[in-house]
Amino acid sequence: MLSLIHVLANVATNGKIMATKGEKFAGLTVAMVTPFRNGLLDEPALRKLVDWHIEQGTDTVCPVGTTGESPTLSHDEHHRVIDVVCQQARGRIKVVAGTGSNSTAEAIELTVAAQKSGADGALVVGPYYNKPTMEGFYQHFKAINDACDLPIILYNIPGRTAKNIEPETIARIGELPHIVAVKESTGSMDAASQIIALSNLTVLSGDDSLTLPLLSLGGRGVVSVVGNIVPKDVKAMLAAWDKGDIATAQSWHRKLFPLCRDMLGLSTNPIPVKAAMQMLGRDTGEVRLPLTPLDAQQRESLAATLKKYGLL
């Protein structure tokens, strides 16, 4: 039986949660790392990661986002990563490609190319560095919306872009036909509550440690970093919540929290998650400058967390 807060947050009808606009992207989306070997894109490892996520039951993979080190990929590499992931997925898992840019023309080009590659959707970050007005944000997303018919997940992360997209503007952008969801990474439950109240967008957590609180407000899933390590456990938390088993969802949250903390607290994403994957034999751990590896003390702390979790 759904809890009262769950029913109220999701406007349940006949015992079922009312679907939001981007319901196909509810659940677990993993913000994939981009594997490198000797400074180059490691395509065999990338294909292996896609297959691993299919085996693990991940709902959606998201290549070339922040975790995929998109800022340091060349345009050719960016396109190639999306091509490889879509080819390897072959309809067995959904692919949402990172296609954002602070240049509207470039974001359009990347999004159109992702659609041609066979992506199921695009994750488009708010324009960074140039700090648009709210009207500028709207016109940016409208131009991308009008250029293709690929479902778009708006990604609001002011900690990286230097300017917040206000909830009222997100709701306005959400009226565009191809804007179906938002990756909410402000860390503000008030902002998430406003978006849910003002729109029919599917709201996805952009912070692993805040996924459960966001679900309680009416969120429908997460774009996860820790899902690179333990996707089955993140899915178990989401499934428990959807079943109304709040105690089990809370138990999973408490178990996952130390891992979530380390992924963002030890160093800049994706440095810790790549280090963890290296320790688990799933990646070389290479990151591109200006990112640098964890130092010895940080690695020791991460290893201790992985051991306590039961992964090492």
Active-site positions?
A: 155, 183
Q: Which two structure tokens, joined as six digits, stand for 61?
A: 């993979």
Q: Within a 10 A sphere around the Cβ of 130, how many other Cβ atoms?
A: 12
Residue 123's H or E segment, with its range, is strand 121-125
The tokens 């998650």 sit on which residue?
273
Kindly tell me the sign of the dihedral angle through the C-alpha atoms of 268, 173, 204, 50: negative
Is 63 in contact with 85 (CB distance < 8 Å)? yes
Q: Which two structure tokens, joined as six digits, stand for 132?
A: 């648009």
State how far the Cα of 35 lies from the Cα of 115, in Å rounded to an integer: 23
State how far the Cα of 145 lies from the Cα of 121, in Å rounded to an integer: 12
State how far the Cα of 41 lies from the Cα of 27, in Å rounded to an integer: 28
Q: 31 forms bridges with which residues in the sheet? A: 62
Burial class (CB in 10 A: 0-12, 13-18, 19+), 270: buried
The tokens 């440690």 sit on which residue?
209
Calculate the alpha carbon distances from 168 to 82, 140, 195 in Å: 32, 16, 7
Burial class (CB in 10 A: 0-12, 13-18, 19+), 92: exposed
Backbone angles phi, psi at 245, to 5 degrees: -90, 80
